[in-house]
Structure formats: C-alpha cells, structure tokens
A and B are shown apart, each in its own frame.
Chain A
Amino acid sequence: MDVGYFLKLLLSGLTRGSIYALIALGYTMVYGIIKLINFAHGELYMLGAFTGLIVASLMSYSGINPVLSLIVATIIAIIYSSAYGVAIEKIAYKPLRKSQRLSALISAIGVSMFLQNFVLLFQTSDFLSFPNLIPTFKFLKPVENYLSSAQVLIYICTALFLIGFTILVKFTKTGKAMRATSQDSKMAQLLGISINKVISFTFLIGSAAAAIGGVLISSQVGQINFYIGFIVGIKAFVAAVLGGIGSLAGAVLGSFVLGLVESFGTGYISSNYEDLFAFVVLIVILTFKPAGLLGKSEKQKV
C-alpha cells in the first residue's frame, strides 16, 4: 500500500470534512430550533464566497497585503451572509412559523432559487477566479506533496470556530437559551426567553460559519460560480442527517465521516462517482441507525 497516497487522501478528506462541518452546523442548528430544513443555507455559503471574491479582488488590485485582504474579505463575507441569513428568516420563514412545515420548506427552496438567480444575474454563469491570498507556510515545505497551506488554514479556522462555538453553546446564557428553545420553545418563552431573538441569532451564527467555509474553500480551489452553494449545501445537509439532524456534535462527526468517505472513495474507487458516495453512506448509515450517528429518537431531540 502506498502510504503517501493514503495520507494525502486522509488529509484531503479532513479538509472536505472541515468545510462540510462549517456548513452542516447551520442546517442542524436551524432544524434543532425551528424544525425547518433551510434549503437556502448552501446559498449563504455561495454568497459568502462571492462577497469574499469581490472584496478580495478589489483589495488585491489595490496592492494591499494578501493576508490582510483575506482577513478583511472573510469578515465582510461573514457580515454580508449573516445579514442575508437573518433577513431570509424574517421575510421567508417567520410568517410561516405557524403553518404546516411543508410551506416553510417550499419557501426555503424558493429562497434558494432566488439567491442563485440573483447572483447569476448580477455576476455571470461562468466560473470566476478567486485570488490566491493564502500565504505559503514555509514549515510545510517537507510535506508539501501531502498538505497545502490552504488545508492547514482550513483546519485551523474550523477548529477555532468549533471551539468558540462549543463554548458559546455550552457555557453562555445565550447558548443555554438556544438549547432550551430547541428542547421546548414554549417553556423557554415562559422563562422570558425571546424565541425571535434566539432564532435570529441561530441564523446569524449558521450563516457566519457558512461564509467562513465559502471564503476558505474558494481561496483553496481558486474559482467559484453561482452554483457552488447547491451541491455543497446538499452534501453538508447529508452530513447533518448522517450525524443525526438537530445534534451539533452529530453534524461535525457526520461531516468528517462524509469528507473521508468521499476522499477515499474518489481516490481508491473512481472520481467519476464523487457525488454518489455521499448518498451511499447516507443510505448505509440510516439503514443501521435511522436517527443518524448521534441522533436521538423523535421524543427527545437535540
């Protein structure tokens, strides 16, 4: 067995997993709180990538330091995607909160199509190249065949985000309010928790994570178009379901499982089936664990 090749696939699987995790969290958080599959979530990742692209290009044309450009681009992408995420909930989902779940789901699909076409119209259907802003880490020189600077940056950012997010959810008042709301929103209201605020905050955090993922992966891949959110969105959704939708740890675990399966699958089987592996793992896992890897039965969710 070629150990080097194996290692390369492993590391690239972890990269995919990181990006999926950043996006899957948004799906699972929103589902945990309002029981909605936010089909438009992938588009927030795409919007983040486009915002990042625009800001980064402007900055790098004006000769600003690439690292600074990347940081500023990421921050603006986070702000922009979060604003969209929060606004989408207020405009497209909140009015439907009391109606059947299907209505909100259809609304979500509508928002997704709207955002894709919105970007298609104002940008182009072609792939646009994303400036390469990621610095080359010199200490990676000996292993550059296996591991790129972009990958390392993706690991670090994902890890930092997950740590911060865990602290937020576990230890802060807002985090406790979020967990309480996802377990019993009426009771949460009886304790004075504003579920509107909790929901907005949930969309904000989820969108911010998606935007970070969007900018990072685009800087690594080097090109984007209006459609990137769709396929990545579906994959991250699969990851969230794999882990047990509504479970935060499950979303992260599911993402890494999916990332690794895809990476090894394309590497050892065939890259023609890249998008098929996701669904194969999904079916296999749900056959044995219908609630997902860390999912709990309907009765006690999240």
Chain B
Amino acid sequence: MLKIDNIHTYYGHIHALKGISLEVEQGEIISLIGANGAGKSTTLLSISGLEKPRTGTITFNGEDLTKLSPEKIVNLGITQAPEGRRIFPNLTILENLELGAFLRNDKKQIKKDIEFMYGLFPILGQRRNQLGGTLSGGEQQMLTISRALMMEPKLLLLDEPSLGLAPIIVQQIFDIIKKMNDEYNITVFLVEQNANQALKISDRGYVLQNGVITLTDTGENLLKNDEVRRAYLGV
C-alpha cells in the first residue's frame, strides 16, 4: 500500500533521513520506533508532504506522493495525527472534529461520525462547545485521534499518540488504535517511543537510528530482540 524507497530528507544542511526504505501493507499495523531525534517525525512529515524528500520516492497504491501537495495526499486517504497534538486551541471541539472531515461532503454521515467519536471518547461529547485549548493533554490527544479518524482514512499516521499520558489513558488509546484496525480496516503506521505497547499491537516494526533503519522484524520478534530490549524497552 505504502512504499518508501530510499528517501533522503533534509532541514537545510541537516540530513535527517539518510536513505530510508520501508513498506506498509493494507490492513497492517506497523510501528516505527527510535530514540529522540532519530527521524521518526520527519518520516511521517515526508509521507504527508510537509517536508519533501530531496531524493527517493514514496508511493501510495502506486501513486508518487513526493510530487503531490499535502492536501492532495490527504485526499488519497492518508491522514496524520502529528506530534504534539496540534488541536486548534481557539476552535471548539466540535469545530475541530468538523475540520477533520474537511474533504468530505456527506454531511449526514459526518454528523453520525461525530457522534461515534463522542461515543468513543465521551469527554469530547460533553465538552463539544468548549474551545480545544481548554482540554487537558490526554483529552487533546483523544481529540487529535478522533479528528484524524473523521477523514475516514485508509492509512492513519500516528506520531507518538501516547506521549505524556497516564498509563490508563495510554492503554485506552492503544486499544482504540487496535479496534480501528480490526473493525474498520484502517491501516496504521505508528511512531512511538513507547516501544513495548506499540510493538504488542503491531504486525511488524522498524527501528530507526540517526536517520537509518537498522532493524526490521515482526512485532513479536522485536519484543524479544536483545538490542531492542536494551535500547528501547529499558530491560
């Protein structure tokens, strides 16, 4: 479904991605794990078209994404819940959700989907008319994920959805990711530092180090891998 082939992405002179290749198949949950500054977010931004790779290709169902604008990429069915939540603080929760469905025109279904999100995260429903900026960190994360789901994505890119959340909420978020994958057939590409939880729900994983992929295997095997255990699981 998604195929990244030898991309190099730069920030000015900083060479952030040094020839990354990876693949995501329809229906999978794939994790990308790595330390701070490894290039995880840059990988997602390259897919979404906000940071264009200087060389290499990214194809989605055969279409080259590197030539498309970010909004065209969204239109193909790839949405991203980026790092840092990025909810619109001065828009209401409802407006944030509505904007998640910006490219859709099926008003009635959008309404139903918003209700569905309220069912998933009742706090969002209770506070629908309050400004996004008034939500707590965990609640904002729920809104970010719901907003990304409002697009009815084929491929959902999640950048550290568990960052800074209490364990019980982390569990809830991972459960919902799994559920979306199982029941709604949404393919998930997950960036996480919480390697343990991420790998548990993942079909496969990639390990990224200083802009290079150093390891790839099934989620299960990576959890057993000594190198991964030492570096990312703190064992």
Contacts and interface: CB of A to CB of B under 8 A. Distances in A.
Contacts of A192: 70-71, 74-75, 102-103, 151
Interface in A158-200: 173, 176-177, 179-180, 183-184, 186-194
B82 A187 contact: yes
Interface in B69-91: 69-71, 74-75, 79-80, 82, 86, 88-91
B48 A190 contact: yes
Interface residues of A, number: 18
A213 B131 CA distance: 34
A99 interface: no
B90 A179 contact: yes
B125 interface: no
Interface in B141-183: 147, 151
A300 B75 CA distance: 29
B86 A184 contact: yes
A184 to B, nearest CB: 6
Interface string A182-222: 01101111111110000000000000000000000000000
A190 B79 contact: yes
Nearest to B70: A189
Contacts of B75: 192
A184 B132 CA distance: 13
Given A191-B74, A192-B75, A183 B91 contact: yes
A186 B99 contact: no
B100 interface: yes
Contacts of A300: 89-90, 133
A194 B90 contact: no
21 contacts: A176-B95, A183-B89, A186-B50, A186-B86, A187-B82, A189-B70, A190-B50, A190-B74, A190-B79, A191-B74, A191-B147, A191-B151, A192-B71, A192-B74, A192-B75, A192-B103, A192-B151, A194-B69, A300-B89, A300-B90, A302-B90
Q: Which are the 6 A-B pairs with shortest beta-carbon distances?
A: A192-B74, A189-B70, A192-B103, A187-B86, A192-B71, A183-B88
